[in-house]
Amino acid sequence: MNGTDITPTGELPDPPELLVPGGEIPYPPDLPHRFELLGARLWLHARCVDCGRAAGHAEDEPVVLASVVKVLLVLEFFRQAAAGQLDPAERAVVRAADRLGGTGTAGFHDDVELSLRDLALMTMSVSDNTAADILFRRVGRDTVQALARQLGLERAQVTGAPREVLESMLEDLGAADADAFASAFAALPAEEVHRLRALDPARTTSATPREMTRLLSLVWNDRAGAAAACAGVRELMSLQVNGARLGAAFDRFTTVAAKSGTLPGVRNEIGVVTYPDGARYAIAVFTRTTSLSTRRPDLDTAIGGAGREVVEGLRGCCGRADLSSPPGD
């Protein structure tokens, strides 16, 4: 399977199945209530990458992906590179008109030239929206959507690049430009913000938590594309600089490769944790708050803690020793 499997007519091969059907196990029953105490709703799914055993809460409800969609985007980029459809060393210039605000090249003062693979690096490591916009233009939004279908993510929808999400917010507020948007947004009551298309899973880029752990399991088993493409995604997810969520919840002997997603009232993270005994678990945690505060270290900690608790319930599912943290941690 490679990037050439996607055809303009949408004639796609059957979605790959996970290696071994797994069963569902109970999740900590008070988890949703603990998030309610933080003013948040919780959607969660965790899955053993090797045997498929899983646990979740509201895992089949659609949720806003925000920057989590960049995992699908970069997977499609690596698939097309592996298929020879694009050259990862191809150069792209990030100009003032491309910059969208935020991290990475989005915050640069001057034009800069990067390769496509370095744009992918910026997209995943610091969630650079401008880099993601340029990659979306290069690989095609429709191909990212088609990839989701090919991988069996039936409810996933990709409505656009980060710039299109922002433009939908400007349109919803009737703002002519970014300055007008900033002024209007600051004065908007929270309940009206939550009615924006960008925050409605039915009208923006969305999927279900179960679909996101399926995606990660396929990537970690080299079943989401060519082995080189899957390895590229795994490497870049391991370079995410935001370690406040899943990354902060596990000890230093457990590796975490993850991608976060954040919008007003939305805080998400998906990732794969690998224990010293080789056991691997895909996790998808999505939250929604009434408050629009952008600084919620308590919620970041809760997201990581929820992921760890559910994974601990899966430990030993493949017959590996249920090891605790090594001495000295």
Give tens-digit pLDDT for 125-164. Answer: 999 999 999 999 999 999 999 999 999 999 999 999 999 9
pLDDT for the residue 316: 87
% of the chain residues with pLDDT over 90:
74
Residue 235, C-beta contacts closer than 8 angstroms, at least 6 positions apart: none
% of the chain residues with pLDDT over 70:
90
Compute the distance between CA of residue 205 and CA of residue 69 in angstroms, rounded to an integer.
7
Q: Would you list the DSSP string of 143-163?
A: HHHHHHHHTT-TT-B----HH
Instruction: Work out the pLDDT band at 300, boundaries 50, 70, 90.
Output: very high
pLDDT for the residue 14: 56
pLDDT for the residue 16: 63
pLDDT for the residue 184: 83
Instruction: Work out the pLDDT band at 64, boundaries 50, 70, 90.
Output: very high
Q: Write out 222-281 in H/E/C secondary structure.
A: CCCCCHHHHHHHHHHHCCCCCCCCHHHHCCCCCEEEEEEEEECCEEEEEEEEECCCCCEE
Say which residue, 154 or 18, is predicted with more confidence: 154
pLDDT (mean) for 194-201: 94
The total of other beta-carbon atoms located within 10 Å of residue 48's CB is: 25
pLDDT tens, residue by residue, 177-192: 878 888 888 888 888 8
DSSP 324: -
pLDDT above 70 (res 1): no
pLDDT tens, residue by residue, 74-115: 999 999 999 999 999 999 999 999 998 778 998 899 999 999
The most distant pair of C-alpha atoms in the chain lies apart, rounded to whole Å, by 59
pLDDT above 80 (res 11): no
Compute the distance between CA of residue 25 and CA of residue 217 in angstroms, rounded to an integer.
18
pLDDT for the residue 325: 39
pLDDT above 90 (res 291): no
Single pTM value for the model: 0.91
Confirm if 82 and 228 have CB atoms less than 8 A apart: yes
* Residue appearing with tokens 């029953």: 29
**Single-letter code of the amino acid located at 246:** L
Where is average pLDDT lowest: 25-34, 46-55, 201-210? 25-34
pLDDT for the residue 130: 96
